[in-house]
Structure 1
């Protein structure tokens, strides 16, 4: 059994990680950790105030600590479901201890120090580990993930966008002079669990935010190798990502060409489902670890639809998928 630690376990993604790992036959949860100042410390994760749906499944206490040397020995895997500033600082501690670290924040997603200066507004201090980090887009980087010690799990918006666009760009079906336009809608859980009036269910109305300034835009562009226009929206539903992506294909490309490319890339990728007709809806993926992709073509105008659960394929499920790949397990173990 491999021993895994989850730091940031009381957040939405952290709780989903705990749920998946609780029934993983190769993993023992060594500890669930929160900040020493957290109001949740010493509570069970399955407490009525937290995640009562986990009663009988994950009845483990939340350890409030910032002294990671006290969290036990023989830790093999560390999941960081933490803010990027926290992940930036603590990932090296566990990496130096020989742990495999899966970071769900943005702290190590792009191997360029200037990216963090420009878009996260801080100077990255861990340049060695930044250079070593492998981007955990599981369907595309499996060979690198198998060798990685630090896996930077992609953001929820970038996962859906890249899974939809990468096959078409790789096979040169798209006119790259026409920047793909990504209109993306997220449920409120994407903003995290901390109380905030702006995220109160009664306050939320469908609204765009972060125009030309959202951090996921350069993450998507960097890993696609393609300029894009990305507009995120917050909507009044709990969870899910719904992306409508408008592109232009090269002259002569047909609907069958597009479907063939998707099937060639994803026929043996169990967590990506391609629709041969019709379009996916959020209800297709909520509570499930899939990204579903549909499309429609009219002359050279292509519209892609990509949907996922932001807490699962957009966070916890992809992290577990990467862990499975890294340690040679079936990549869907405990996910399906």
Structure 2
């Protein structure tokens, strides 16, 4: 299947997992993107076909597409250029080789291809990776720190790793962090991060504020892979719908000045339109529904606190997937993220 090359032909797209929160956000972004078309939306095989607006009434009269049950047999007749996978990890891993064999670019939002070491999957994801050969082929697209052009398999970073990595990479890349420092990260996510499936533990009326996943959370090795060092990462579940607030504490090398810290952040993000450097501590309310990452820091001698905030469903999932797809198909990076206007 040939890829789109003409500027006046839209890139044909399918979303697998469109019934979930991130999948639905992807549908909205694709409709808003002038360079892409939303041709298909799929959910699990056990579902009955129904309009997306039945599942999400906010899309009534805005997104006119049916969410159909998915079967692998559909691939033979699936005339699209790219498939966005908002699926469970094992489901993404299973269908990805089939889609790629059909010449379809895969943008995967699960954790199936994020880690480069297959042996970590049983410990952190609870299953044995069946396609380890694809781990090196997948391009991990933390977009503000992209080091290679996206190929035919794009791995979208997790929501927590996005928030934490964007906060700490400028300092590490500038060589400002003490050699023996192990950053301590506490991050709180809204309940939408647990997905749409009903569960008592993530019911809005049951959630207060609690920590979980001590030392063993699946995003810890991803964060460490990004940063190139160990971290202490403790996630929390908060009583709000969407957003992540991450507070990272680290030790700087002796003599690092406030100007050096500011310069590290400024140089890293001065040409990155989706990262905002603030003069006050971020609030998840100000990033919810946006593709931004907001950053703020405070220094006291060798101690530094960096606070980052993102929308877990957008910058932490669908919006970053859209960024990566835009770059993959040589379109403006932020197309579709602001009502179809690239910034």
Normalising by structure 2, what TM-score? 0.94
Indicate the residue corresponding to 1:43 in structure 2.
50
Cα deviation, 1:210-252, whole Å, max 9, x if unaligned, reads: 1011000111001211110000000110000000100011111
Indicate the residue corresponding to 2:297 in structure 1.
295
* Paired residues of 2:326 and 2:335 also in contact (CA < 8 A): yes
Alpha-carbon distance, 1:142 to partner: 5.4
Indicate the residue corresponding to 1:231 in structure 2.
234
Structure 1 residue 80 and structure 2 residue 52: aligned?
no
Structure 1 residue 17 and structure 2 residue 22: aligned?
no
The 1:28/1:72 distance shift into structure 2, 3 A limit, reads farther
| Unaligned runs of at least 5 residues, structure 2 | 1-9, 339-343
Moved more, 94-103 or 119-128: 119-128
Indicate the residue corresponding to 2:120 in structure 1.
115
- The CA RMSD over aligned residues, in Å, is 1.2
Q: Distance in 2 between matches of 1:327 and 1:160?
A: 25
Q: Secondary structure at the match of 2:93?
A: helix
Q: Distance in 2 between matches of 1:131 and 1:325?
A: 19
Indicate the residue corresponding to 1:33 in structure 2.
42
Indicate the residue corresponding to 1:322 in structure 2.
324
Alpha-carbon distance, 1:181 to partner: 0.4
Indicate the residue corresponding to 2:134 in structure 1.
129
Cα deviation, 1:287-329, whole Å, max 9, x if unaligned, reads: 0000010000001110000000000000000000000111111
Cα deviation, 1:177-198, whole Å, max 9, x if unaligned, reads: 1210000000000000001011
Alpha-carbon distance, 1:153 to partner: 0.3
The 1:104/1:68 distance shift into structure 2, 3 A limit, reads farther
| Unaligned runs of at least 5 residues, structure 1 | none
Indicate the residue corresponding to 2:262 in structure 1.
259
Q: Secondary structure at the match of 1:13?
A: helix
The 1:213/1:324 distance shift into structure 2, 3 A limit, reads same
Q: Distance in 2 between matches of 1:201 and 1:294?
A: 29
Q: Secondary structure at the match of 1:132?
A: coil
Cα deviation, 1:105-160, whole Å, max 9, x if unaligned, reads: 00000121112132122221112212201111011115332xx1111100000001
Q: Secondary structure at the match of 1:95?
A: helix
Q: Secondary structure at the match of 2:332?
A: coil
Normalising by structure 1, what TM-score? 0.95
Q: Distance in 1 between matches of 2:132 and 2:75?
A: 27
Q: Any residues of structure 2 matched to 1:130-145 within 5 Å, and which?
A: 130-141=135-146, 143-145=148-150
Alpha-carbon distance, 1:73 to partner: 3.4
Q: Secondary structure at the match of 1:5?
A: strand
Q: Distance in 1 between matches of 2:25 and 2:147?
A: 22
* Paired residues of 1:292 and 1:307 also in contact (CA < 8 A): yes
* Paired residues of 1:142 and 1:325 also in contact (CA < 8 A): no
